[in-house]
Chain A
Amino acid sequence: MGKTLFDKIWDSHVITDLGNGFVLLHIDRLLLHDMSGGKALKEAIDKGYPPAQPRLTYGTPDHTMSTKPGRDEFTHPPGLPLIKSMRETTSAYGIKLFDLGQDGQGIVHVMGPEQGLTLPGTTLVCGDSHTSTHGGLGSLAFGIGSSELVHVIATQTMVQRKPKRMRASFEGKLMPGVTAKDMILHLIGELGTAAGTGYSVEYAGSGVRALPAEARLTLCNLTIEMGARTGMVAPDDTTYEYLNGRDYAPKGAMWERAVAHWRTLPTDPDAEFDREHTVDMKNVAPQITWGTSPEHVIAVDRAIPDPSKGPEEKRGAWEAALQYQGLEPGKPIEGTQVDWVFIGSCTNSRLSDLRAAAEIVKGRHKADHVTAWVVPGSVRIKAEAEAEGLDRVFTEAGFEWREPGCSMCLASNGERVPPGKRSVSTSNRNFVGRQGPGARTHLASPAMAAAAAIKGAIADVRKM
């Protein structure tokens, strides 16, 4: 029987079988960020385990840094000890740190692919649950906890149990106004946030094959929101075009050798999955979340769901979500007034995302009552966007153009949506309080977020 993409990568990284379903898995890339990186390095060193493979380990500050224009490490003081400890520990062991202000700094899941650190067929881990993002380039990537992080630093391996396999196929073409963000939100809406628990997910089908590399990263980013730790897209020419020439990608004859290997990775035609699900792209419209879980999602032209008509076991959660969000069931979601717009995060802060938002914004102005931020995902994206004049498109429309970082995705850096205020955000979590205590978040694509900023309300991008 044939093998899946996941199985091929997994099996080739098994160092030894530990019995009872556990294996010792080699880790090819470890990415560190400010929130846990310095602390984990210090703990490993204190335990007597210096980093096993410093050259396979890379770090960048993103979570706790201010993104205020002209920021430095002092702008948000609580982040200062974290970046300091990260600098000390990485420099002591020769670990490359993409520091504030340097080319390469950015959100860890944006700069990894951008630098060519993320490669097809590699195992990659990071102490952040959205590490699945890197699967967009055909890497087996997953988020890990703090004790696992110390284990990887010390040994360059992990003790793991193999998950089951799920394939989510998208068939057909993107409908107008629809992006990879809408595809994945739609899928989570269909399957729910627990469907992926215990699975690795492969995204496949003609709808996925047609996506550019950056969109595939967006698709894989939200995998954890349906419960799976890892999501992947098989590498193909789109992947190789994206990676060719990137700083840490192989070059010359080595590149040819690598591509030849990567071409053997895609799932064999006769490979089997434990679960299959197919989405007809005709049914995927621009999405917007209404509640406090990514599965609380609808097409933007639909009405806010009525808990009394929903499945019985979800009624309580739906009611609580509507109350927190300050929404009335049965009303159209379009037209709901918005106070904040956040375009950024590891989901949607890449150049193609900023271009899509700028296309909507160009020649228009944001609504007066809206505060709108654009936070590019990395130093390099920021520079590329400025070279194209995107920054001016945004600033002329009244948006703030900021420095790279996680910013309002998780409110651990002083940047928050104020209590009771409503935001349309291109990030990945609409949990209670995620963007700040009492903040009401609606997840959407960059173009949808831009449209909301212009209209001052949740808007259908297809009508812009």
Chain B
Amino acid sequence: MDKFTKVTGVATPLMRQNVDTDLIIRIERLVDNVTREGLGPYCFEQIRFKPDGSEDPDCIFNQTPYRDAPIILSRENFGCGSSREGAVWALKGMGIKAVIAPYFGDIFNNNCFQNGLLPVALPIHEIEQLADEMTASPGNARITVDLENCQVISPTGRTIPFQVDARRQHAMLNGLDDIALTMSRRDEIEAWQASDKSARPWVWL
């Protein structure tokens, strides 16, 4: 899994509530034989493209300086809806490294941590102010998301702390998904198994 320590860049204000996983990636794209990495071009396709397949210039993702932005700002309940892990793969494929929202869909939030995409929960008034600072000086404004120190630095230099579960922070900083994290405890697992083999030998076929 990719490590996440810090990202600095443009943040796209996608200021709507309930951005669901269906909007992020259509289920058909996951059935078609597209690789995880290849999902990027289909991310948010329902708002990025017109029905005829051409780019919609009104969509913020198609406007400078947001086209290659690594961060998304959004409102409540980002990533709600179906449990598809493809939503996270698609965002990553589009170059997104972090999403900032008041809170996230439960399973989406979990899936982010399995794939090195950082979901940052901040109060809505902070996000609104970040969006204002972004749009106030388009082209120059940058946001930093710093996982090591658990803080967001706004375009005007304000620092805003955020919280993250210590176990997950460690995993993201070191690029470990749940399996890798568990594997780092192999000695403990083997010790447990060795003692269980003498306590309950009948379990060990």
Contacts and interface: CB of A to CB of B under 8 A. Distances in A.
Nearest to B200: A261
Nearest to B186: A155
Interface string B26-44: 0000000000000000000
B182 interface: yes
B150 to A, nearest CB: 16
Contacts of B205: 55-56, 248
Nearest to A19: B167
Interface in A1-58: 15-16, 18-20, 22, 24, 26, 28, 47, 49, 55-56
B193 A26 contact: yes
A261 B201 CA distance: 11
Interface residues of B, number: 22
A155 B203 contact: no
A151 interface: yes
Nearest to A259: B202
Tell me what chain B mostly uses at the interface: helix, strand, loop, or mixed.
helix
Contacts of B183: 49, 154-155
A147 B114 contact: yes
A100 B114 CA distance: 36
Contacts of A121: 200
A26 B179 CA distance: 14
A425 interface: no
Given A55-B205, A56-B205, A159 B178 contact: yes
B178 A156 contact: no
B182 A151 contact: yes
B196 to A, nearest CB: 7
A53 to B, nearest CB: 8
B59 interface: no
B203 A28 contact: yes
Given A16-B185, A19-B167, A122 B178 contact: no
A150 interface: yes
A155 B167 contact: no
B148 interface: no
Interface string A145-169: 1010011001111010000000000
A257 interface: yes
A258 interface: yes
B189 A151 contact: no
Given A49-B179, A155-B182, A156-B189, A22 B167 contact: yes
B188 interface: yes
A119 interface: yes
A250 interface: yes
Given A19-B167, A248-B205, A261-B200, A47 B179 contact: yes
B165 interface: yes
Interface string A227-258: 00000000000000000000010100011011
Contacts of B167: 18-20, 22
A287 B167 CA distance: 48
Contacts of B188: 15-16, 24
Contacts of A150: 179
Interface string A292-305: 00000000000000
B178 A20 contact: no
Contacts of A255: 202
A134 B147 CA distance: 43
A447 to B, nearest CB: 36
A20 B204 CA distance: 31
Most buried by A among B189, B192, B193, B202: B202
Most buried by B among A22, A49, A155, A255: A155
Contact of A159 (B85, B182, B192, B200): B182
Contact of B202 (A22, A24, A47, A258): A258
B189 A26 contact: yes
A156 B203 CA distance: 13
B166 A257 contact: no
Contact of A15 (B165, B178, B189, B202): B189
Given A15-B185, A22-B167, A55-B205, A151 B179 contact: yes
A15 B192 contact: yes
Contacts of A159: 178, 182
Contacts of A26: 189, 192-193, 196
Interface of A: 15-16, 18-20, 22, 24, 26, 28, 47, 49, 55-56, 119, 121-122, 145, 147, 150-151, 154-157, 159, 248, 250, 254-255, 257-258, 261
- Ordered nearest first, which 5 A-B pairs have the shortest CB separation? A250-B202, A15-B192, A258-B202, A155-B182, A154-B179
13 contacts: A18-B167, A19-B166, A19-B167, A20-B166, A49-B183, A151-B178, A151-B182, A155-B182, A155-B189, A156-B193, A157-B189, A254-B202, A261-B200
Given A15-B188, A24-B182, 14 more contacts: A15-B185, A16-B185, A19-B167, A20-B166, A20-B167, A24-B189, A26-B196, A49-B183, A56-B204, A151-B179, A154-B179, A157-B182, A254-B201, A257-B201
